Amino acid sequence: MALDDNAVVVAAKGYVFTADVGTAAPSPDDVDTLDPELFGCQTVTFAVTGTPTGGSFTVKFASGDTPATIPWNATPDQVQTLVEALASVGADNTSVAGAALPAGTITVTFCEALEGETLTATVVDAGLTGGSTPHATVTTTTAALAWKMVGHTSREKMPEFGFSGGKPSCAVRGSVRLSVRSCRTSLKKTTSCFGSSSSTWTR
């Protein structure tokens, strides 16, 4: 199988992720709490202060977006619908949690097609009314790790994973090994293999 020389392969709990060569390996804590649907994804938190009683604020994540108008008392479902309508986000590319504004906060995790991507919010909150100097923020609370999932298997029967094109250089073989040419590592050990244009990490 022809494999990708410019990929890093991670095997963690049966899930295989890739990232550009040079990307930092996830920490043990990252893997211990691994959620395969959200691993490596950026999370932002919507919050409103100053106890507004009406109005709205706008948010966008790219210069080409038509800003989404978020009600002062928006629910998580409303925020998800409005954010996914943005051209930079798209349908089914978020996961939301939290409680309705302004008393609560709402987290939005960018997943699926946006896994591993970093988005920057632009917020305009002049439309909020009432209260005492109301203010809206959208801040990054979990940074993207730049890893993208490309497959899944059991640890016991881990097949070879790869991509078409490139030179054979990095493969996942056997039950507990990652192999990059002549360099191998067992589970719960970390290694970098020089001279192969690739590195490996596994738990």
Pull the structure tokens for residue 53. 């009683």
CB atoms within 10 A of CB 168: 11
Q: Tell me how far apart the alpha carbons of residues 30 and 141 are, in angstroms, rounded to a whole number.
A: 15
Query: Residue 172 — pLDDT band, cuts 50, 70, 90?
Result: very low
68-80: pLDDT as tens digits: 999 999 999 999 9
More confident residue, 9 or 95: 95
Residue 14 pLDDT > 80: no
Pull the structure tokens for residue 108. 């939005």
Q: Which residues contact 69 (CB under 8 A, 6 or more apart)?
A: 56, 57, 58, 82, 127
Q: Tell me how far apart the alpha carbons of residues 131 and 86 are, in angstroms, rounded to a whole number.
A: 29
Percent with pLDDT over 90 in the chain: 49
Reference 6, options 26, 17, 22; nearest CA is 22
Q: Tell me how far apart the alpha carbons of residues 203 and 182 are, in angstroms, rounded to a whole number.
A: 19
Percent with pLDDT over 70 in the chain: 67
In a 10 Å sphere around its CB, with 0-12 CB exposed, 13-18 middle and 19+ buried, how is residue 8 labelled? buried
- pLDDT of 135 reads 97
